[in-house]
Amino acid sequence: MGGIFVSHRVNVRILAAVSAVALWATACVKDNNTTAPVIAKDNTFVGYSDPATQQTTCGNCHVLKQETWAKTGHAKAWANLQASGHASASCDQCHTVSGLTNIAKDSSGYFTVAADAKKYYQDVQCESCHGPGAAHVAVPDETQPIPYLVSKDTTLNVGCGMCHSGPPHNPFYEDWSRGAHGGMVAHAVANTNCWPCHNGKTAEARFGGSNTYVEASNSNPMPIGCTTCHNPHGSDNTNELRESITVRDTTNLCIQCHKREPFPDPSNKYGPHYPAGMVFLGDAGWFPPGFTWDSTNIPTHSDPSVNKTLCATCHLGQINVNNGAGKLAWHYTGHSFWAIPCVDTAGIDSTNSCDVSQRDFSACTGSGCHASQDAARALFESIGQEMSYLTNTLWVDSNGNGKVDTTDGGLLAKVPPTEFAADTIITTAEGALWNVQLVTKDKSQGVHNPPFEKALLIATIEAVQQRYGVAAPPAVQALIAREGSRLGVRIAR
Ligand code: HEC
Ligand code: HEC
Ligand code: HEC
Ligand code: HEC
Ligand code: HEC
Ligand code: HEC
Ligand code: HEC
Ligand code: HEC
């Protein structure tokens, strides 16, 4: 600051330090003038230009951003803090524009200004993410505050995770970090064909995000981060999501990515690409001749009139984990995307590996669909057993080499190996193999679409028996006769 008071912004700080309140008061009494005192704002953060209408200084030029931001929860951050009845100084850094949750940690912004200027810095405004903007506002073309895409960068103090983490609230950042979206698949990093789903930056552009941010010029892929799914400037969807979570089709946020390779294709040597979303829709797999499935009329988990937020209902359930002594151990935000997370007295197991008895099934009861967690757990186990019974009837990969061998278990091992030849024809055996992989790689153990997955496997077993003259054990015959007629499964004879 050089000691010379060249700008009024420097004076602001001095005034604030001396005691702005006392100086203004003296001025008013002495001059008795009617012009309102000029409110001295911070010298780096510009904040609101009109707090009463929540007009940001930035938004005077970036008009569209102002319009959409004003509808976000960020514009209500201060009002909700006050309404909570628990507001204290410790809350302010995340509910205002300040240097504390921002680039180059300091106490500027909300914390430095005098009492009469504080209202200009309430709420999570543009500069809470973009950093101080006074220099850019002075010379808009040359000094633009540049947004960051990172979920959290502790060295720079930037990213959504600066506020959306740890106590006192909800550890969105921590939960996200340990879930699969916070990681990267090595194979997919190297191949740009994989980036639309495996690189957060490419996916974000696909969902209409801008390509203007610090890391845009960096060619390294990034994880599926906060701004891949959430638009920081607002959207027409709940929680500023870039795509809808309520539509039951491939434009659904989750299904946009969880839909790859649902149908057999002779040129694909890897099988289905974990297309959970397509299984959920009942629009996947090899259909034996004569088998039909009305994917629009399924009264279970994928019925949007019962389950409004579809994937999110199960995969983003929030849970208060108790430490056993009546205290909160962890508020799980759902952002690891685990449907039935492993809970213990310390919180949530970060590897998500545990016995089914330790898993939390509250996402199943919250919506009023299942009477209790235990009831849901029992159903989960029985559907899972039924699915593996049916898939094992078709194929047990005894030596674990991923290929059907005559020494393997199940009906497919009895089919002539020539039926699995690498050619352009999809045989019944290859279609059946695809369906086994589909249900297995869906990884929900049948939960995503119980009637569809069961019907598809039953039809497949029937088709394999009929085509190759092989027979499943009598117990399976009984099951497919009973369940097949209940579900209306038919194939061409
Ligand atoms: C006086 C008008 C004005 C104000 C006020 C203003 N900007 Fe800008 N801003 C501009 C102009 C002009 C550009 C350059 C536009 C371009 O290159 O597309 C720009 C560019 C930007 C960019 C880069 C966009 C890009 O495409 O490169 C960001 C980010 C940005 N402004 C954010 C802000 C923030 C945050 C504030 C408030 C601190 C703010 N602006 C205030 C006029 C303004
Ligand atoms: C580390 C940053 C941080 C601090 C400190 C902080 N908050 Fe928040 N607060 C957030 C974030 C992020 C959200 C929105 C997401 C959420 O619910 O966790 C939020 C949301 C809220 C909400 C709105 C909840 C709702 O949905 O209606 C209230 C009320 C609130 N905070 C009160 C407080 C109070 C009271 C304090 C101080 C005791 C405080 N906050 C301190 C970051 C913070
Ligand atoms: C919650 C954090 C956050 C807030 C609040 C926020 N931005 Fe952004 N902004 C970002 C991020 C992240 C990007 C880059 C990625 C993207 O565009 O989605 C960005 C990009 C931009 C861009 C350049 C890209 C484009 O779409 O033109 C401009 C301009 C911009 N923001 C202006 C604003 C203005 C003006 C406000 C306030 C009205 C604001 N931002 C509020 C995080 C935020
Ligand atoms: C300066 C702190 C801060 C930063 C940085 C921040 N947030 Fe927030 N965020 C909050 C607070 C506080 C709330 C609670 C607002 C309220 O009272 O409803 C919130 C609410 C939200 C909500 C709930 C929205 C709603 O409409 O209720 C979402 C989603 C969200 N933030 C996403 C993001 C994303 C994505 C980023 C990064 C691009 C981000 N936030 C950066 C503080 C922050
Ligand atoms: C249409 C979107 C999409 C494309 C394109 C895509 N993937 Fe995936 N991939 C996914 C999804 C979604 C998952 C995770 C699903 C799951 O685990 O159930 C996944 C999972 C994977 C896994 C397993 C990861 C694990 O942790 O088990 C590998 C390996 C993989 N993909 C590699 C690739 C490669 C290599 C490419 C490009 C040749 C690619 N993917 C292209 C959506 C896609
Ligand atoms: C793969 C997509 C995805 C990613 C990545 C993601 N979110 Fe979310 N987030 C969602 C969905 C979907 C919801 C809405 C859940 C619902 O409505 O049931 C949500 C809801 C939220 C909410 C509001 C929760 C509430 O209590 O209402 C906040 C805050 C939030 N996310 C913050 C974040 C932050 C911070 C990050 C990055 C650390 C992040 N999200 C990453 C999909 C995502
Ligand atoms: C931008 C693409 C994309 C979007 C959008 C997306 N996912 Fe994912 N998801 C992936 C990829 C890629 C993986 C695998 C990442 C890995 O293994 O590193 C994955 C992994 C997962 C996993 C863990 C799978 C496992 O085997 O551990 C779950 C669960 C999941 N996603 C659920 C969801 C839900 C629910 C939504 C919607 C709220 C969603 N995803 C949105 C791409 C996406
Ligand atoms: C009715 C609840 C429910 C719905 C709705 C749901 N899932 Fe699941 N999902 C589950 C369960 C239960 C599992 C098995 C989790 C486990 O075993 O840890 C699972 C597993 C998964 C997995 C593999 C996760 C892992 O850790 O291995 C992915 C990926 C996934 N679901 C994605 C989705 C997508 C995408 C949607 C929406 C199209 C969706 N799910 C809808 C309950 C649901």
pLDDT grade for 257, boundaries at 50, 70 and 90: very high
217 lines ligand 2 (CB under 6 A): no
Residue nearest to atom 25 of ligand 4 (CA): 73
Per the prediction, the chain carries an average pLDDT of 90
**Which residue is associated with the tokens 């001025």?**
27
- Residue 146: its pLDDT value, please? 72
> Could you give the CA distance from residue 255 to residue 276 in angstroms, rounded to a whole number?
8
In this structure, the dihedral spanned by the alpha carbons of residues 419, 424, 426 and 430, taken in order and rounded to 10 degrees, is 50
Q: Which of 364, 248, 376, 363 is nearest to 305 (CA)?
A: 248
pLDDT (mean) for 436-441: 98
C-alpha 489 to ligand 3 mean position (Å) = 52
179 lines ligand 8 (CB under 6 A): no
16 lines ligand 6 (CB under 6 A): no
158 lines ligand 4 (CB under 6 A): no
- What residues contact residue 389 under an 8 Å CB cut-off, 6+ apart? 476, 479
> Could you give the CA distance from residue 98 to residue 112 in angstroms, rounded to a whole number?
9
255 lines ligand 8 (CB under 6 A): yes
pLDDT grade for 226, boundaries at 50, 70 and 90: very high
pLDDT (mean) for 199-222: 92
> Could you give the CA distance from residue 492 to residue 470 in angstroms, rounded to a whole number?
17
Largest CA distance in the chain: 106
C-alpha 81 to ligand 2 mean position (Å) = 7
Q: Which residue has the higher pLDDT, 374 or 24?
A: 374
Ligand 5 mutation target, pool 181, 195, 197, most atoms within 8 A of CB = 197
Q: Which ligand is nearest to the CA of 164?
A: 2
> Could you give the CA distance from residue 344 to residue 366 in angstroms, rounded to a whole number?
20
pLDDT (mean) for 314-323: 94
133 lines ligand 1 (CB under 6 A): yes
pLDDT (mean) for 385-394: 97
pLDDT grade for 144, boundaries at 50, 70 and 90: low
Percent of residues, the chain, with pLDDT higher than 90 = 78
Residue nearest to atom 17 of ligand 8 (CA): 444
Q: Which of 438, 301, 433 is nearest to 380 (CA)?
A: 301
**What Cα–Cα distance (Å) separates residue 385 from each residue in 70, 335, 472, 474?**
50, 28, 17, 17
Q: Which residue has the higher pLDDT, 143 or 106?
A: 106
313 lines ligand 8 (CB under 6 A): yes
Distance of CA 373 to the CA centre of its chain: 24
160 lines ligand 4 (CB under 6 A): yes
Q: Are 134 and 9 in contact (CB under 8 A)?
A: yes
- Residue 7: its pLDDT value, please? 34
pLDDT grade for 300, boundaries at 50, 70 and 90: confident
C-alpha 164 to ligand 2 mean position (Å) = 9
C-alpha 256 to ligand 5 mean position (Å) = 12
Q: Is the pLDDT of residue 380 over 50?
A: yes
Q: Which of 243, 259, 245, 151 is nearest to 206 (CA)?
A: 243
- Residue 192: its pLDDT value, please? 96
301 lines ligand 8 (CB under 6 A): yes
pLDDT grade for 148, boundaries at 50, 70 and 90: confident
- Residue 32: its pLDDT value, please? 60
Q: Is the pLDDT of residue 9 over 70?
A: no
Residue nearest to atom 2 of ligand 3 (CA): 129
Residue nearest to atom 33 of ligand 7 (CA): 254
Torsion sign (Cα): 279, 282, 284, 290: positive
Q: Is the pLDDT of residue 5 over 80?
A: no
Looking at residue 140, its amino acid is P
